[in-house]
Amino acid sequence: KAGVTQTPRYLIKTRGQQVTLSCSPISGHRSVSWYQQTPGQGLQFLFEYFSETQRNKGNFPGRFSGRQFSNSRSEMNVSTLELGDSALYLCASSGDRDYGYTFGSGTRLTVV
């Protein structure tokens, strides 16, 4: 079956702009999580959505938000971009009774 699909693969944005990233989970997976990966901070949990509701949230400022649609597809939004937001943003999906997360290839965001 198809894996987790993230679009776009690469993005370059200017400070102060906003950006929206998209994630399509594995068919049948209702849990979608987002992680930020940077060389300095490693992999950090942003938030998790389940059945269109944010179920858990990490320690990121309110500029980072997300949503999930009825088909389980998810979007993540970052407003008022800062240079420090440059990172690989990873989406992962999981089945209802499964702790095993499958990650997408990520969106590489560069803020200039």
* Positions that interact with another protein (CB under 8 A): 4, 31, 33, 35, 42-45, 48, 50, 55-56, 58, 90, 92, 99-106
Instruction: Give min distance, CB of 23 to another protein, in A.
Output: 11
Instruction: Give min distance, CB of 80 to another protein, in A.
Output: 25
14 versus 59: smaller Cβ distance to another protein:
59
Which 3-state string (H, E, C) describes the chain?
A: CCCCEEECCEEEECCCCCEEEEEECCCCCCEEEEEEEECCCEEEEEEEEECCEEEEECCCCCCEEEEECCCCCEEEEECCCCHHHCEEEEEEEECCCCCCCEECCCEEEEEC
Instruction: Give min distance, CB of 21 to another protein, in A.
Output: 13
